[in-house]
Chains A and B, each alone.
Chain A
Amino acid sequence: MLLRQRPPTPPAQTRPAAIRVVTAGLVLPLLVSLAGCNGQRLQPMLRPLEGTVYIAVGVSEDAIDGELQKEIRARTAMLQTTFRTLQPKIRLQVEVFPEENLPNELRLRNSTGLSPDLLLVNESTARDLVRERLIDTVSFPAALLEQLDAGSVVRVRRTDGTLTGLPMELQPQVACFDRRRVDRSPATLSELLALSAKGMEVGLSLDAVNLAWTLGPLGAIDAVSSLLARQPVTPVTRQGLESWLSWLRQADQQQHVTFYPTEPELLKGLIAGTLDWIPCRSINLSRVKARLGKHMGVAPLPSGPHGSASPITRERVLAFGVNSSPVQRQLALALARFAISPLHQRDMILRSQFVLPVNREVAPPVRSSSVVAAMVVGRQQSMQRATIRLVEGSSKGQREAWQALLTRFLFDDLSPQATLTGLIELLSGGRSR
């Protein structure tokens, strides 16, 4: 049995000791950094730069998971390793953010002085961030920009000649399938439905950006373009959209075609074996490849009666934060130049990162790789349909409304006529950017 008496009052002199410990813990790193700073000022000009570069990678909120984070960290580690041949004392610290939340995130970070030095984001996001003055614009020599994909450079160039960011890589949309169950990817939309009728499990996403590839083959691309450009609604516009909606309904009625809200669900289905054929962004191929291995098949997306597919190619750019120290900015610029150098761009392709280079001096190996060939076709298809960029540039609210409208339509909650009216209203009136 224990007999417990009232505990004695602890001595009061522990607080100053605790304060001393806390002070030492906080002040020491500060002094070390200050010392390092003074040392940097005294360094010779040719001495390598030293410091940490913070990189924020924006990805779709639905896609963030442990596996994606690992992929991004692995890619950053690879970039760090190769870049250290130039700047041996650099350290890259990467953070992954939902791209939709980046404006709010940057507002907070900028107010504290803790914004990232570099951001790897979609070109449309970089444009918005510059408009809100949440990132800095940059200038690069014309000679360097001439090496890059002309279309990509045009889209990042502002009227004053500065850039919203530096194009780094292209992520086209392609068809991805399991070779164990699909011998050959369908070349047309009719063939897609025919194969699904024979048992091929097809997964499609209702997300506007992911479904945009079906607009071109079904003759709705011009209708969408004219509506986004706020041109008057004509019978041709209606007809184009009607035929597109009709095909969606027809596909939905197929037993082996399933619509999902977002692309990550399609990928999970393909990896799990519940789906055989899906449209997917090229950057996600590495994850599919890791699971399916040699059974992963990649092909261009199917065409239709009105032409080839109209997929959207994500153009990823390197944007620059506003709080960088002079050394960090120098490092960020050096890193950006390195990322678009032929050396690194070629390395990206050879290491199967499933992106296309923006540097024109690097030719994608289309003859040796059917995957790269399909990606190149996907890129070309997206360039033919430049107005699709407007869809990509739509707001999150618009895309959610689009998805909700199509979901109700496919569940027979909305008639084709009501859906058509809603779609026209959404595309013509809701364009905020």
Chain B
Amino acid sequence: MSELLMEIVGWFGYLQRFDVRIQVLLLLLVFLGQGVLRRRLAPRFPPAGHPRVVIPSLLGLLALVLGLGGHPYGLLLLGLLLYLGWLGLEGVRGLLVRFIEPQQIQLLETRLIRPAYLLIAALLVIRVFDNPQDLALIPIGEWFGSEVTLGSFFLAVLIVYVLAMGTGPPAQGMAWLVQRSVGISNGSRRALALMIRYAAVALGIVWALDHVGFNRTAILAVAGGLSVGLGFGIKEVFSNFVSGLWLLFEGSVRPGEVLFIDGDPCEVRSLGLRAAVLWRDRDNAELVIPNQTFFTSTTVTYTGSDTLRRSQVLVSAAYHHDPEEVIALLEATARSQNRILPTPPPKGLLLRYGDSSIDYALRFWIANPMDNVSICSEVQAGIWRAFRDRDIEIPFPQQVQYQVEGPPKS
């Protein structure tokens, strides 16, 4: 490691050269001083207000001046190239928008594309100061019985990172193909995509360990020792991880499923290594629930075998109305609602004779469990209108208090 540090420190020796110093100074001036320049130039020349115009123009101009003066100008050109490349990433985003969902583009951009560009830029800069192939051979230590070089370690980390961050869209593509050919549900497709990702990352880690050249026996020995520590120390993490894998295979908690959490229907957004993220429609909140919660407690789902939900609203009518007439009216009201399924047909029921009214229930089926509250609201509003039109009274409890004289005073 000290060898690597010495190598990096050695790069500053290039500043002994006038040509290098002047290029570095100009780069600093352009990137840090362009704001001032833009503010001064913009009133007279509006295009100069944009850094996209000012920075490349200045770099190009300065490179030209240095070139005409017979001085090296490669560092300025490199700065220009990297800046234009950074701007070009927006074009890449524009292209991807056509094929990938915006949320995934955001993830791809922040976790893969921009980091990848920064990495390439860093390698290009190192490329002019040093020899990356040479640097890659620098040993950084002896791990698990084998000498690890900077290059092999870097490559291994890079591959695992790319697999972890970049396998989302390909895995989803493969899962989509499987869905098209086999006909699995959307939830199964998402679960399959997740499993493909896990498999790719696991293979990547195995490959990385092999590539770095770790001694497999030593790794097994360390893993054996760690397993004891893990059993006591971070068993919750492992418990959640294993629960997550199990739930994926079992299929009860997959992305897209609707579960009942504390009386509210919630949609599973993602099933991670440690926890599942659920979306609650009522207040647009995201619930992060450890995987083992689902593994050890009862889970109510509306999307296990199908997505239908049987819902009901309760209503009361006065005693003087004919129950058959009320039930027929309730069922007719339900049938008039668009979002209530015609089959199984809505069903009105007389539940009981209350203190001040007869209690009825209207039961009906809906296609999307997440719409339950809004549909119930529509149905109840419809019932109110239907009762009003037919002069059916919805009574409310009334109490008459009689004052009784007490016993004679003794």
Contacts and interface: CB of A to CB of B under 8 A. Distances in A.
Does B associate with A? Answer: yes
B211 to A, nearest CB: 15
A51 B13 contact: yes
**Residue of B78, B128, B275 most packed against chain A (CB within 10 A):** B128
B83 to A, nearest CB: 15
Interface string A84-125: 000000010101110000000100111111100000000000
A334 to B, nearest CB: 15
A363 interface: no
A34 interface: yes
B21 A30 contact: yes
Contact of A54 (B13, B149, B286): B13
A112 B32 contact: no
A91 B10 CA distance: 8
Interface stretch (B67-75, B156-164, B182-190): B67-75
Interface string B12-32: 111111111101110010001
B287 A1 contact: yes
Nearest to A67: B137
Nearest to A69: B137
B315 to A, nearest CB: 34
Interface string B74-104: 1101100000000000000000000000000
A23 B29 CA distance: 10
B131 interface: yes
A112 B25 contact: no
Main secondary structure on chain B at its contact with chain A?
helix
Contact of B25 (A30, A66, A105): A30
A52 B13 contact: yes
A401 to B, nearest CB: 26
B131 A109 contact: no
A156 to B, nearest CB: 25
A23 B28 contact: yes
B151 to A, nearest CB: 9
A69 B149 CA distance: 12
B134 interface: yes
A51 B130 contact: no
B154 interface: no
A108 B75 CA distance: 10
Nearest to B284: A6
Interface in A18-49: 19, 23, 26-27, 29-30, 33-34, 36-37
Contacts of A110: 72
B288 A52 contact: no
Contacts of A96: 131, 134
B13 A112 contact: no
A328 interface: yes
A254 interface: no
A325 B133 CA distance: 26
B30 to A, nearest CB: 12
Contacts of B289: 1-2
Is the interface on chain A under 10, 10 to 19, 20 to 34, or 35 or more residues? Answer: 35 or more
A93 B4 CA distance: 12
A205 interface: no
A60 to B, nearest CB: 14
A33 B15 contact: yes
Nearest to A327: B16
Nearest to B280: A3
Contact of B17 (A23, A27, A73, A113): A113
B7 interface: yes
A314 B130 CA distance: 26
Contacts of A54: 10, 13-14
A113 B23 contact: yes
A428 interface: no
Chain B interface size band reads 35 or more
A83 to B, nearest CB: 16
A38 to B, nearest CB: 12
Nearest to B136: A66
A303 B66 CA distance: 59
B404 interface: no
A327 B15 CA distance: 12
A124 to B, nearest CB: 22
A70 to B, nearest CB: 8
Given A30-B15, A52-B13, A113-B17, A97 B23 contact: no
B129 interface: yes
Contacts of A65: 137
Given A1-B293, A4-B288, A112-B72, A51 B16 contact: yes
A112 B134 contact: no
B74 A112 contact: yes
B19 A323 contact: yes
A52 B137 contact: no
A24 to B, nearest CB: 11
A64 interface: yes
Nearest to B138: A69
B139 interface: yes
A37 B17 CA distance: 9
Given A1-B293, A4-B286, A112-B72, A33 B7 contact: no
A51 B14 CA distance: 9
B288 A95 contact: no
Contact of A325 (B18, B28, B149): B18
B10 A52 contact: yes
B32 A66 contact: no
A26 B286 contact: no
A119 B174 CA distance: 52
A69 B288 CA distance: 51
B228 interface: no
A5 interface: yes
Contacts of B149: 66
Contacts of B32: 19, 23
Contacts of B127: 108
Contacts of A97: 131, 134
A324 interface: yes
A276 B68 CA distance: 60
- 9 tightest Cβ-Cβ pairs between the two chains A and B: A52-B13, A112-B74, A113-B19, A113-B72, A111-B74, A33-B15, A93-B10, A2-B288, A66-B137
9 contacts: A1-B288, A4-B288, A30-B21, A30-B25, A37-B16, A69-B138, A109-B128, A114-B20, A114-B75
Interface of B: 3, 7, 10, 12-21, 23-25, 28, 32, 71-75, 77-78, 127-131, 133-134, 137-139, 147, 149, 275, 277, 285-290, 293
Given A36-B16, A91-B10, A111-B74, 12 more contacts: A4-B277, A19-B32, A30-B15, A30-B24, A51-B13, A52-B16, A110-B72, A111-B73, A111-B77, A112-B75, A114-B129, A327-B16
